[in-house]
Structure 1
C-alpha cells in the first residue's frame, strides 16, 4: 500500500452529524501498515463543536486534532486542514457525510493503480421520506466527477484523497474570496490540473450524504447550477480576451435558449423538464459572470 499515514479532514459548522462522520471514519477497514489521523476544523466563531468532537474521538479510539478556524468561511477551515495535515495523503469528508467501511482503501487502491495526484469518490444522496418521487428518481443531489475528453479537470472536497506532496508542489489553497459563494472546490482542483496534475476516480469509495428539506426544491437546484455556471464563467474571464469573451457569451446564451426550448418540449415530464432547466441555469450563470455581474452568494 502506498501510504503509511492518511490525514482525514472534516470541516464542521454547527452540525451534530459530525459525530456520525467520525464514527464512520473509525470503522474503516484499513490495510496493514496504514494509520489514520483525523483533523476536525471548527468554522464557528465559538468552539461549539469541540466537546462533541473530542467525546466522539475518545469513544471510537480515534486520533483527532481539533482546530478552531473561526471565520465562518469554509475555505479558511479547509486551509487550516491543509496546514495541520502530516500524512502522506489528505482525504476530505463533509461533516454531514458518512463513509462506507471500504471507502478509504478504495481511494488508496485507485491512487496506487493510477498514480494520480488526487482521487475522487462518489457522494450518494439519501433522501427523506417527504422528498418528491420524481426528485429521488432523478437524483440531482448525488455527486460524481465530470469527464472532459477522458480527463477529470475539476473536483470537489466532499469525498477526495489528495497526495500531500502535490498540494505542496502546486501551491494548492482554497480561495477565501469564494468561501461564501461556492466554486472554491473547482478553483482548487483546476489549479492542480492546469499545473499538470491528474485526478482519478474510485467508484467504490462511496460517501453518503442526507438531503435536507431546504434542498428539496427546484429553486435550490437552479441556484446551485447557476452558481456552478458562474464559476466556469469566472475561469473563462481570466483565460479569454474581450472578443473571445463575447463569443463565449453568445455560445452560452444560445445554450440557454436551447435548454428553455427543451424544457418546453418536456412540459409533460417533471423529471426531464427539470433536467433541461437545471442545465439552462448552468449556462445562464456562465453568461452572467462573463457579462460582469456579481457572483451569487450561495452560502
Structure 2
C-alpha cells in the first residue's frame, strides 16, 4: 500500500518532532509524510528540516497554509499527498511502532474505505484526582471490524482511501475552519455516499494531555463545541433527513436534557466532584446544541462567531 501520513500543525514544534521520530520507527513505513503548517511564520519548518537532515526512509513534504483555518490546512495536506491512502494523525499525538501496520490492515484486506482507531489520553502525573476519576478525555471504543456510527466519526487517528478525498473540490468544509467539526462533517458525507468506515481497536495512538486542558473550563468549552458540532451535523442531514417536526423535537429534547442534567449535577456533587462534572458537561453539550439555533458558534480557534461577523 502507498500511504501518505498527513499532519496539520500549529505551534507545537517539540510534539511534532516527537511524532516524526515515531513515524521513522514504524514497522509499516509510509511512502510520504506531509506536514502543513497553519502558522504563517512557518514555525514548524525547522523541525521538518532537522528530521530530513537526520534521515528519513520516506519523503517529507512541508507547506504553509497562512490563513488560520483547520479545514484549509487539512485540504492543503490532501493536495500535497501522493499516496493511494491518506492517514491523518494530530501533531500532539504519539504513534507506537505498530500503529500504521495495524491501521492499514483492514484496508489492505479490502474490507474498508476508511479505518478509525482509538486515541488514548496520557494524563500527567500531577493531574487532579477528580479528572483521573472522571475519565473525561477517553474516546468511545468498539470491537475491531465494526462499522463506526455516524455520531462517533472523528479524526485524530484515521486512514482514508485517497480517491474519495480527491474526488471533492474541498474535502474539508472551510465553514468549520475556525470552530472545528470539519472531521465529522467530512466523514459523515463519505458515509452518506456509501463509504464503509470501520473501527480497528488495535491501531492505538497516544495523546499526552496538555496542562492547559486540565481544567473544568476547558472541559466545558469542549463539551459545548461538541454539542454544537452534533447539532450542525444533525441539521445539515449528516445523520439522515430531518423534517421541521424533527428539528422541533431536537430543540425540545436538548432543552429538557440540559435542565435535567443541571439538576443531576447538583444532586451528584456530594458523591464526588467528578460525578457532578459528568452532568455539567451534559449541560454544556446540550446548551451547545441550543446555541446553534441562535446562530452562533464557539470558535475553538478564536473565540465566539456571531451571525455574519468575526469574533
TM-score by length of 1: 0.90
> 1:249·1:287 contact (CA, 8 Å) conserved in 2?
yes
> 2:148·2:199 contact (CA, 8 Å) conserved in 1?
no
Give 1:217-296 correspondences, 5 Å limit: 217-239=215-237, 240-268=242-270, 269-289=272-292, 291-296=293-298
CA deviations 1:56-95 (Å, max 9, x no partner) are: 1331424201112111211111101111111111001111
Equivalent residue of 1:248, what SS?
helix
2:70 aligned to which of 57, 68, 74: 74
Tell whether 2:166 aligns with 1:168: yes
Residue range with higher mean Cα deviation, 204-213 or 262-271: 262-271
Residue 237 of structure 1, CA deviation: 2.7
Residues 198, 172 of structure 1: alpha-carbon distance in 2 compared, 3 angstrom cutoff? farther
CA deviations 1:103-125 (Å, max 9, x no partner) are: 00111113345712111111111
Structure 2 unaligned blocks of 5 or more: 302-311
Residue 142 of structure 1, CA deviation: 3.1
Structure 1 unaligned blocks of 5 or more: none
CA deviations 1:165-192 (Å, max 9, x no partner) are: 2223566611122111111111111111
Tell whether 2:27 aligns with 1:29: yes
Cα distance in 2 between the residues matched to 1:60 and 1:112:
28
> 1:170·1:192 contact (CA, 8 Å) conserved in 2?
no
Residue 282 of structure 1, CA deviation: 1.4
1:208 aligned to which of 201, 206, 211: 206
Match of 1:126 in 2: 122
Residue range with higher mean Cα deviation, 226-235 or 162-171: 162-171
Match of 1:13 in 2: 10
Equivalent residue of 2:294, what SS?
coil
Cα distance in 1 between the residues matched to 2:298 and 2:43:
29
Residues 42, 36 of structure 1: alpha-carbon distance in 2 compared, 3 angstrom cutoff? same
Equivalent pairs counted in the alignment come to 291
Residue 55 of structure 1, CA deviation: 1.2
Match of 2:48 in 1: 53
Match of 2:98 in 1: 102
Residues 256, 130 of structure 1: alpha-carbon distance in 2 compared, 3 angstrom cutoff? same
TM-score by length of 2: 0.87
Cα distance in 2 between the residues matched to 1:35 and 1:158:
17
